[in-house]
Amino acid sequence: MRRFIAALIVATFAAIGPNLGRPTRLRAQQAEPGSPQTRAALTFLQINDVYSTTPIDGAGGLARVATLKRRLSSGGHPVLMALAGDFLSPSVASTVFKGEQMVAALNAAGLDFATFGNHEFDFGIDVLTQRMSESKFQWIVSNVLDARNGKAIGHSVPYTIRDFGDLKVGFIGLCLTTAQIAPGARGSFRFNEPMQAAAQYIPLLKRLGANVIVAITHLTFAEDRDLVARFPQIDLVIGGHEHYPITSVEQHALISKAGSDAKFVARIDVNRTPGRSVVERFFELIPVTSALPDDPETAKVIADYESRLGRELDTVVGSTSTPLDATDARLVQETALGNLIADALRADVGADVGLTNAGGARGSRIYPAGPLTRRTLLSIHPFGNVVCKIAVSGRVLLDALNSGVSKLPAGAGQFPQLSGVTMKVDVRGPPGNRVSDVRVNGEPLDPNKTYTVALPDYVQKGGDNYSMFIGQKVLVDAQSGDLLVTALEKYIAMRHDVAPAVEGRITILK
């Protein structure tokens, strides 16, 4: 994946063309004297899909992004920072603060514009409206309304225009409307198709005199391409949803996506030469590393929430009446902890089957019966895996079950912990043909029937030898699902007390 992303970045720079000022190196500083960037009337800084206020593996961090904006703004140069959706959720911190920490950090960092991503709906309309009321930045949302009254949500606007010298820049904001929106939240919102909203507001912006059109979107890249094909008036798409950098010129427009977690910031300088209709765009992808020092004000806000998070992790979310075995026993047999995790996965997305790799649970100890804190749940599942949902045939599901037990009697992280499924395993059989008497919710497995499976994104992407899941139909992807630890917390909190046990879901014949 890292090689693919690196190749993609190189390829997109090569395809950008002369109007975009192909950079010879990535840097976080003012443009060099003589650079076309120095003539630009306006600079955009783009981030999208940001779930952490702090660096991850040394990259990213909103305090560093704040420093970048302040540097480029020195001397009064106009700089607008835009976030193309997905930041209120999901993260461990957001399970505690429900996105409050993100809004506070982005306020301090100087964010100017944001639109909705699918994860802005995760906590429902009341929490979203509260977060919006705390925002110092402008929300631009052109295709989502409050279903209760048909009006704009919070203080969002469907479009806006800003003047920068000879530039009169019109903005719209578009969010995807697919099933990736949390099902429990959909009823509170009225989703209009993005193309319909664009058709409504782009002509209006033109009538109001806008000579540059910017769409801040949280759509798939394919949808962004369709958007600019249908609306050649669009000059720039500041996009999100994909979690890797994408830069492409499609039709007349530049489409930019900056990856995730602010590991990169896309700098886009915009200019319009008097007497010419061409909008010039100069592109640079800036890595956010320790070369950028933290902005003190933003860092202080982030540190306060990190300190509070440490205390909040000791909050009790529920209790277990039975011990939870996270020893190596989970790698060779059904366990109460494995059943609990698989049940939480299945419940979170409403699937027929829950399947998790036993190696995903950690701790190497038996957690005693009693209170369960958020810190305990994080120690059980620390990897940041996301709950996904796929549709597979019974034949593929059987292949997965056989793969999961193929290393027995040796312990292996791929051993399946299951919900909604029972099976018998004969370890004397050859790997690939050890599983029999499979039942899904009490009914015999039908090889030709389609079943929905809840599973961690690591497994969905083929981890732990579950390659048969690659290419299967995805119903909830890693950009849309809950963190696994969040799903586990919700499952326990809803029941207050859980009593998982070994129930005979997996019978091993020795």
Same domain assignment for residues 224 and 238: yes
Same domain assignment for residues 340 and 409: yes
**Structural domain boundaries enclosing 134:** 18-310
* Domain membership flag for residue 8: no
- Tell me the CATH number at 231: 3.60.21.10
Per-residue pLDDT of the chain (510 residues; tens, 9 = 90+): 333 333 333 333 333 333 343 333 334 455 676 677 777 889 999 999 999 999 988 999 999 999 999 999 998 999 999 999 999 988 878 888 999 999 999 999 999 999 999 889 988 899 999 999 999 999 999 999 999 999 999 999 999 999 998 899 999 999 998 756 766 677 899 999 999 999 999 999 999 999 999 999 999 999 999 999 999 999 999 999 998 899 999 988 999 999 999 999 999 999 987 767 778 899 999 999 999 999 999 999 999 999 999 898 899 999 999 999 888 888 899 999 999 999 999 999 999 999 999 988 887 778 999 999 998 998 888 778 899 999 999 999 999 999 999 999 998 889 999 999 999 999 999 999 999 999 999 999 999 999 999 999 989 999 889 999 999 999 998 888 899 999 999 999 999 999 999 999 999 997
Last residue of a domain, one of 286, 310, 334: 310
Q: Are 47 and 65 in contact (CB under 8 A)?
A: yes
Same domain assignment for residues 126 and 159: yes
- Tell me the CATH number at 399: 3.90.780.10
Same domain assignment for residues 375 and 264: no
* Domain membership flag for residue 355: yes
Provide the number of structural domains found in the chain.
2
* Domain membership flag for residue 97: yes
Residue 286 CA to residue 305 CA, distance in Å, equals 27
Same domain assignment for residues 451 and 331: yes
Same domain assignment for residues 137 and 228: yes
Q: Locate tokens 């899904």: which residue? A: 440
3-state secondary structure string across 97-126: HCCHHHHHHHHHHCCCEECCCHHHHCCCHH
Q: Are 220 and 164 in contact (CB under 8 A)?
A: no
Beta strands in 95-244 (DSSP E): 113-114, 138-139, 144-146, 159-164, 167-175, 189-191, 212-218, 236-239
**Structure tokens given for 227:** 């958007």
Q: Which residues, other chains included, contact 369 with Cβ-Cβ below 8 Å and sequence gap of 6+?
A: 319, 320, 321, 322, 323
* Domain membership flag for residue 44: yes
Q: Could you give the C-alpha distances from 64 to 145, 244, 255, in angstroms and in order?
A: 34, 19, 24
Q: Which residues, other chains included, contact 136 with Cβ-Cβ below 8 Å and sequence gap of 6+?
A: 107, 111
List 237's β-bridge partners, or say none. Answer: 215, 255
Same domain assignment for residues 190 and 276: yes
Q: Are 475 and 451 in contact (CB under 8 A)?
A: no
* Domain membership flag for residue 7: no
Same domain assignment for residues 93 and 212: yes
Same domain assignment for residues 430 and 411: yes
* Domain membership flag for residue 332: yes
- DSSP category for residue 147: T
Last residue of a domain, one of 278, 310, 342: 310
Same domain assignment for residues 209 and 328: no
Same domain assignment for residues 117 and 215: yes
Strands 421-426 and 506-509, by their bridges, are parallel
Same domain assignment for residues 405 and 279: no
* Domain membership flag for residue 10: no
Residue 41 CA to residue 58 CA, distance in Å, equals 33
Last residue of a domain, one of 310, 333, 350: 310
Give the residue from 160, 70, 151, 59 showing the smallest Cα distance to 114. 160
Q: What is the pTM of this model?
A: 0.76
* Domain membership flag for residue 361: yes
